[in-house]
Amino acid sequence: MMAEPREMKENKLWHRPLIIFITVLIVVGIIALVTTAVVQNKALPKKYKYGIVLDAGSSHTAVYIYEWPAEKENNTGMVRQTHSCNVKGKGISSYAARVKEAGMSLKACMDEAKGKIPVRRHHETPVYLGATAGMRLLMKENETQSEQVLSSVADFLRGYPFMYEGARIITGQEEGAYGWITVNYLSKNFHQERSTMGALDLGGASTQITFVSQLRVESPENSLHFRLYGNDYQVYTHSFLCYGKDQALRLTLAQQLQTGDRHLSDPCFHPGYQQEKSVDRVFGSPCVSTSLSRPTYANFTLNGTGNAKLCQSNVKRIFNFSSCTWGRCSFNGVFQPPVEGKFGAFSAFFFVMNFLNLTSSSLDESKEKLEQYCSKPWDEVKQSYSAIPEKYLAEYCFSGTYILALLENGYSFTSDKWRDIKFLKKIGGSDAGWTLGYMLNLTNMIPAEAPDAPPLPHSGYVSIMVLFSLLLAALLLLLACKVFGRPTCAQNKYVI
Ligand SMILES: Nc1ccn([C@@H]2O[C@H](COP(=O)(O)OP(=O)(O)OP(=O)(O)O)[C@@H](O)[C@H]2O)c(=O)n1
Ligand SMILES: [Ca+2]
């Protein structure tokens, strides 16, 4: 009876250091485990990559800088625009008669780009220049001049410390396709099962429509097939050369000048607006068809009458709805399936509709507001918008009318479908346009298959590691108590 308590006492003495030792071992083990997990998987300091794209449009050139974390270049939505610069003056095609100056015109924006990108990244930063409809037209008119303009800008760009990747005229098909890729990439629509949105781009010299079509695309030149992030897309696209808003205005003027009268009463301009215009400027464009007769006089006087309804019927005359060899056509005999899904309408679609305050109006409301706006006397308009250059201001009545006609009559957006058009300039800080899609494609940043993503983000991984380690520690301690402990072990713990 006396020996028992002594034995228990000995047991206790022997157990205590062992428990402490095991506990310390467990704690050290867990700390080591967690530290290793955290250190090993620590998010690496982000390394950014950069890319520059020059959008050499018909009316102006813009320089865009893009940035993305190097290790995530295949994830959708990782590339963002960090800077844009508008080149002073007109588009590069306007340098046809003084080609040497074309390159130099880019100086201010390219110097700015040098300052925006870290110097150590310059040599690995690709630079692309893509020219659109203005250069396509110059190419038709004078191939030598267009080549000279391109080599002038190419030589100039080669003089920068960046990685020059070419200056070329992109096709209308590319322009449409890359615009579609841009808006859907920025909207993260390539993820999983999300539906895509169509892209509507209106420039000065051409306009593009691009959307996914369930209906078969009958004409091969309008059909694109993409496999992006593991999904297949059947895309319809068309670029109408000469149907950008500046060329469309020339077409409309040329039509009206067929009467032979050098005094033109134009319903697309505000009452009281008067301007002397050159016949050469209107008929000098390769867009103005040779079937139209050119007046013999050099100048004509344009007098605004401000009548949107009459303007609309004039504008409609530049579309040919009579010939179609396909199942269905938009205009000028071009195949187009019925418009499907949501659309993003950007560039001049946005500038004009935003100025006219029509970005969230219904089709009928837009027509009504436009009628009111066009009928405003020119003096009043100038006074109300004194900050806007007259060159732009004079044309918003025409441009608004043209946009409504193009969308409603040209592409067949009914009042119902009108609600699916979102007029936008940017998506998440990046401009909507073809440039981003162009760069993504040329740098192979849009994979055909979805990249393998880690099942957990870094923070989730660390949290789970810590949680389970703590749980394990608690269990081990409990077990240690049970194996070595006295019945009081657990009780003591609860008391504490
Ligand atoms: N604040 C602005 C800026 C531009 N514009 C007009 O919008 C058209 C230019 O649109 P843009 O998309 O810049 O055309 P480009 O890219 O130059 O032409 P394209 O795509 O046809 O080559 C021009 O008519 C210009 O006068 C406008 O009305 N209001
Ligand atoms: Ca453009």
Q: pLDDT for 58-112, tens place per residue?
A: 999 999 999 999 887 777 769 999 999 999 999 999 999 999 999 999 999 999 9
Mean pLDDT, residues 379-392 taken together? 97
Q: Is 205 in the pocket of ligand 1 (CB under 6 A)?
A: yes
What confidence tier does 469 reach under pLDDT thresholds 50, 70, 90? confident
Mean pLDDT, residues 31-35 taken together? 76
Angstrom distance (rounded) from CA 124 to CA 443: 12
- Stretch among 283-287, 371-375, 426-430, 485-489 having the lowest mean pLDDT: 485-489
Q: What is the DSSP letter of 432?
A: -
245-256 and 396-405 helices, crossing angle to 10°: 100
Residue 33: what pLDDT? 74
Q: Which residues contact 346 (CB under 8 A, 6 or more apart)?
A: 179, 183, 199, 200, 201, 423, 424, 425, 431, 432, 433
Judge if pTM exceeds 0.90: no
Q: Which residues contact 450 (CB under 8 A, 6 or more apart)?
A: 229, 230
Q: Is the pLDDT of residue 6 over 90?
A: no
The identity of residue 26, as a single letter, is: I
What confidence tier does 291 reach under pLDDT thresholds 50, 70, 90? confident
| Cα distances (Å, whole numbers) of residue 219 to 113, 211, 302, 334 | 41, 15, 41, 9
Q: Higher model confidence: residue 483 or residue 236?
A: 236
Residue 3: what pLDDT? 46
Atom of ligand 1 nearest to the CA of 399: 28
Question: Would the CA dihedral through 352, 355, 361, 365 be positive or negative?
Answer: negative
Which of 53, 59, 60, 182 best tests ligand 1's pocket when mutated (most atoms within 8 Å of CB)?
Answer: 59
Say whether 127 sits in a helix, a strand or coil: strand
Q: Is 245 in the pocket of ligand 1 (CB under 6 A)?
A: yes
Do the Cβ atoms of 53 and 439 come closer than 8 Å? yes
Q: Higher model confidence: residue 16 or residue 113?
A: 113
Q: Is the pLDDT of residue 10 over 60?
A: no
Residue 45: what pLDDT? 62
Cα-based torsion angle of the residue sequence 150, 153, 159, 165 in order, rounded to the nearest 10 degrees: -60
Q: Which residues contact 310 (CB under 8 A, 6 or more apart)?
A: 267
Residue 453: what pLDDT? 66
Q: Is 203 in the pocket of ligand 1 (CB under 6 A)?
A: yes
What share of the chain has pLDDT > 90, as a percent? 78
Residue 204 labeled ligand binder: yes
Residue 1: what pLDDT? 42
Say whether 53 sits in a helix, a strand or coil: strand
143-158 and 107-116 helices, crossing angle to 10°: 30
User: What would the pLDDT profile of 244-271 be if each residue is shown by its tens digit?
Assistant: 999 999 999 999 999 999 999 999 999 9
Which of 351, 398, 401 best tests ligand 1's pocket when mutated (most atoms within 8 Å of CB)?
Answer: 351
User: What would the pLDDT profile of 342-364 be if each residue is shown by its tens digit?
Assistant: 999 999 999 999 999 999 999 99
Cα-based torsion angle of the residue sequence 317, 318, 322, 327 in order, rounded to the nearest 10 degrees: -130
- Stretch among 112-126, 331-345, 461-475 having the lowest mean pLDDT: 461-475
- What is the chain's mean pLDDT, rounded? 91
Q: Which residues contact 239 (CB under 8 A, 6 or more apart)?
A: 133, 171, 172, 173, 175, 176, 206, 207, 208
Do the Cβ atoms of 108 and 156 come closer than 8 Å? no
Angle value at C-alpha 41, between 38 and 46, nearest 5 degrees: 115
φ and ψ at residue 146, rounded to 5 degrees: -65, -35
Angstrom distance (rounded) from CA 297 to CA 326: 41
Q: Is the pLDDT of residue 454 over 70?
A: no
Say whether 111 sits in a helix, a strand or coil: helix
**Superfamily for the 47-169 domain:** ATPase, nucleotide binding domain (3.30.420.40)
What residue ranges in 107-157 does DSSP mark as E strands? 126-131
Atom of ligand 1 nearest to the CA of 244: 21
CATH 3.30.420.150 is held by the domain 172-429: yes
Angstrom distance (rounded) from CA 267 to CA 311: 5
What confidence tier does 476 reach under pLDDT thresholds 50, 70, 90? confident
Residue of 167, 255, 168, 246 whose CA lies nearest to 206: 246
Q: Is 172 in the pocket of ligand 1 (CB under 6 A)?
A: no
Residue of 191, 237, 83 whose CA lies nearest to 453: 191
Instruction: Show the DSSP H helices in 105-195 as ranges.
Output: 107-116, 133-141, 143-158, 172-186
Angstrom distance (rounded) from CA 446 to CA 226: 10
Angstrom distance (rounded) from CA 255 to CA 267: 13
For ligand 1, atom 20: residue with the closest CA:
203
What share of the chain has pLDDT > 70, as a percent? 91
d(CA 315, ligand 2 centre) in Å: 21
| Cα distances (Å, whole numbers) of residue 289 to 122, 247, 316 | 46, 12, 16
Residue 207 labeled ligand binder: yes
Q: Is 89 in the pocket of ligand 1 (CB under 6 A)?
A: no
Q: How many residues make up the chain in this entry?
A: 496
For ligand 1, atom 6: residue with the closest CA:
348
Angstrom distance (rounded) from CA 282 to CA 254: 6
| Cα distances (Å, whole numbers) of residue 247 to 13, 38, 126, 254, 332 | 98, 61, 33, 10, 16
The number of angstroms, rounded, from the C-alpha of 481 to the middle of its chain's C-alpha atoms is 64
> Which residues are known catalytic residues?
175
ipTM reported for the complex surpasses 0.95: yes
| Cα distances (Å, whole numbers) of residue 4 to 8, 16, 17 | 6, 19, 21
Angstrom distance (rounded) from CA 220 to CA 309: 37
